Amino acid sequence: MSKTAGIVIIGNEVLSGKTQDTNSHFLCRELRTLGVEVRRISVILDEIELIGKEVATFSRNFDLVFTTGGVGPTHDDVTMAGIAHGFGVKVIRHPELERRLRERHRENINEARLRMAEVPEGAELVGEGFLYASVVKLRNVYIFPGIPKILQERFEAIKGGFRDTPFFLKVVYVKEGEGVIASILNNLLASFPELLLGSYPVLDNPDYKVKVTLESKDMNYLSRAFQKLLSTLPEGAIHRIDGN
């Protein structure tokens, strides 16, 4: 079975529409490439108890948990406190993070900047190549900032540790609408119940009407399902085929 993951997006600004969340899309795409199955995405407010409850629940339900947002030096950056609350531990100042912060800021260090060294007790640092900002991990929870560029850089540094058996994918662009091919897809899934089968209507495209995706971690299983689909689609219905 695949490793499973849950993503918790933390920030009032996302729910109020002030900021558009792109982090969940990035993480879903990258994790899928690594062979990890994202099962749930949650977007929540900057509230300590809510963060704690949500992250602790995700930690129990999924192999990997990724949080983004709420890890800066200001009043609304309460992710560390929330996660600590959820796991029943204290917030402490991590000695290595503090050392890096003091080294970077020297005489300009202050209490606001030192908040960046606060982590849930028992947390560890993951990833190299950053002067003061490795990824903070508590159990199976990876705590990322909300700034997309920084999140992407840090994820890139540690993503090898999440790698699982990859998904193999076939994409078929079909000229017929879902009303025509629905029974064909239903029969395909009945014959290959473990197949991850998707059907996505496409509007305003003169070349095709539906994008059909077939996925499996078993290349042979996928190939057999793919050939079955090709043999049952109406003649001339295929516009294009992509995938590995």
Same domain for 155 and 176? no
pLDDT digits (tens, 9 = 90+) for 39-81: 999 999 999 999 999 999 999 999 999 999 999 888 889 999 9
The answer to whether 164 and 3 are in contact (CB under 8 A) is yes
At 129 the pLDDT is: 59
At 31 the pLDDT is: 98
pLDDT digits (tens, 9 = 90+) for 198-218: 999 999 999 999 999 999 999
Rounded to an integer, what distance in angstroms lies between the CA atom of residue 102 and that of residue 144?
Answer: 21
pLDDT profile of the chain (244 residues), mean per 10: 94 96 98 97 98 98 97 90 98 90 89 90 83 82 96 92 95 97 98 97 95 97 98 96 86
Same domain for 137 and 209? no
37-44 and 4-10 beta bridge pairing:
parallel
Quote the crossing angle between the two packed helices 48-61 and 79-87, to the nearest 10°.
60
Same domain for 158 and 204? no
Quote the crossing angle between the two packed helices 178-191 and 219-232, to the nearest 10°.
140
Same domain for 236 and 157? no
Q: Of the candidates 162, 188, 206, which is a domain's last residue?
A: 162
Same domain for 153 and 175? no
CATH classification at residue 20: 3.40.980.10
Same domain for 98 and 140? yes
Instruction: List the beta strands (DSSP E) in 46-186.
Output: 64-68, 91-93, 118-120, 124-126, 135-138, 141-144, 168-174
> Containing domain of residue 45, as a range?
4-162
Rounded to an integer, what distance in angstroms lies between the CA atom of residue 223 and that of residue 117?
Answer: 50
